[in-house]
C-alpha cells in the first residue's frame, strides 16, 4: 500500500476495493439497497480497512482540499462502495478540525444526491450531529429550515441529527423538526420520527410517553410503535 499513496486517491481506492471484493456478493447487495448504482461486493469490515490504509497516506492541508477530496470521490464514483468511502473520508479524525459550517453544503450535496437511507443516516447522525454540537445556534436555524424542505432526505436528516445526543438533546429543536412532518405519509419520515423519539426514550421515557399521548391524533401508527418500543407498560 505504501507505494501507492502518491497515486490519485480515487484510483487507489478502486484498485484496493477490487482487490478485496467478493463479486458474488455484488448483485445481492445491490438488490438489498435497491440501488441503481452497482456494487463491487465489498462488505463493511474490509471497506473500512481499505479506507484506513489509503487515507493514512493522504495529505489534505486545508479544509477546502478535504472537501474537494470528499466530493471528488462522491461525484466520480462508479460503484456504491466508492461513495461509502467518501463518507468515511468525511469522518477521518485527522481532518476533524475541518468540521465547520463550511462543510454543511458538502453534506447537503451528499444527502440530496445520495437520497437513500444507507448514505443519509450516517451523515445526519454523525456529521450533522457534530456540526450541531459545535455550532448550535447556526445549525439550529439550518435544521429548522431543513425540517420544512421539499426534499424528504433533508427533512429526515433534521429529525435524526440528534440520535446520539442523549441527555444533551435539544428537545425544542427535535419537536420543532418533527411537528411539520407529522402528517407526512412517507415511510422514511414516519420511521425517522419514531426512531428519534425511541432514542430519546432511553434518557427520558416519561417525556416521550407524554409527547406520544399529546400527539395521539397526529402521530402515525408506525411512529408511535417505534417511539414506544423501549418503554414499559404504564410509563
- 106-155: pLDDT as tens digits: 999 999 999 999 999 999 999 999 999 999 999 999 999 999 999 999 99
Contact 159, 178 (CB under 8 A): yes
- CATH number assigned to the domain covering 104-235: 1.25.10.90
Reply yes or no on whether the pLDDT at 3 is more than 90.
no
Contacts of 116 (CB under 8 A, 6+ apart): 33, 34, 35, 153
* Residue 12 vs residues 26, 53, 113: alpha-carbon distances, Å: 20, 10, 24
The residue among 116 and 233 whose pLDDT is bigger is 116
The enclosing H or E element of 38 equals none
Instruction: Domain 1-98: give its CATH architecture.
Output: Alpha Horseshoe (1.25)
pLDDT tens digits along 75-118 = 999 999 999 999 999 999 999 999 999 999 999 999 999 999 99
Delimit the CATH 1.25.10.90 region(s) of the chain: 1-98, 104-235
Amino acid at each position: 500500500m505504501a507505494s501507492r499513496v502518491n497515486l490519485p486517491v480515487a484510483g487507489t481506492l478502486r484498485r484496493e476495493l477490487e482487490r478485496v471484493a467478493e463479486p458474488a456478493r455484488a448483485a445481492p447487495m445491490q438488490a438489498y439497497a435497491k440501488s441503481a448504482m452497482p456494487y463491487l461486493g465489498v462488505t463493511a469490515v474490509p471497506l473500512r480497512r481499505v479506507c484506513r490504509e489509503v487515507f493514512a497516506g493522504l495529505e489534505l492541508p486545508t479544509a477546502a482540499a478535504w472537501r474537494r477530496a470528499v466530493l471528488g470521490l462522491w461525484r466520480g464514483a462508479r460503484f456504491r462502495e466508492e461513495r461509502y468511502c467518501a463518507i468515511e473520508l468525511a469522518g477521518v479524525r485527522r481532518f476533524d478540525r475541518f468540521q465547520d459550517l463550511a462543510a454543511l453544503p458538502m453534506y447537503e450535496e451528499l444527502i440530496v444526491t445520495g437520497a437513500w437511507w444507507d448514505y443519509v443516516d450516517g451523515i445526519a447522525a454523525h456529521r450533522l450531529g457534530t456540526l450541531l454540537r459545535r455550532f448550535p445556534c447556526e445549525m439550529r436555524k439550518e435544521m429548522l429550515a431543513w425540517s420544512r424542505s421539499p426534499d424528504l432526505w433533508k427533512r429526515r436528516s433534521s429529525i435524526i441529527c440528534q440520535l446520539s445526543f442523549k441527555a444533551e438533546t435539544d428537545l425544542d429543536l427535535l419537536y420543532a423538526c418533527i411537528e411539520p412532518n407529522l402528517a407526512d405519509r412517507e415511510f422514511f419520515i414516519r420511521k425517522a420520527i419514531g426512531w428519534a423519539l425511541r432514542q430519546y426514550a432511553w434518557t427520558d421515557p416519561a417525556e416521550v410517553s407524554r409527547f406520544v399521548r399529546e400527539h395521539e391524533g397526529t402521530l402515525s401508527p408506525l411512529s408511535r410503535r417505534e417511539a414506544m418500543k423501549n418503554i414499559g407498560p404504564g410509563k
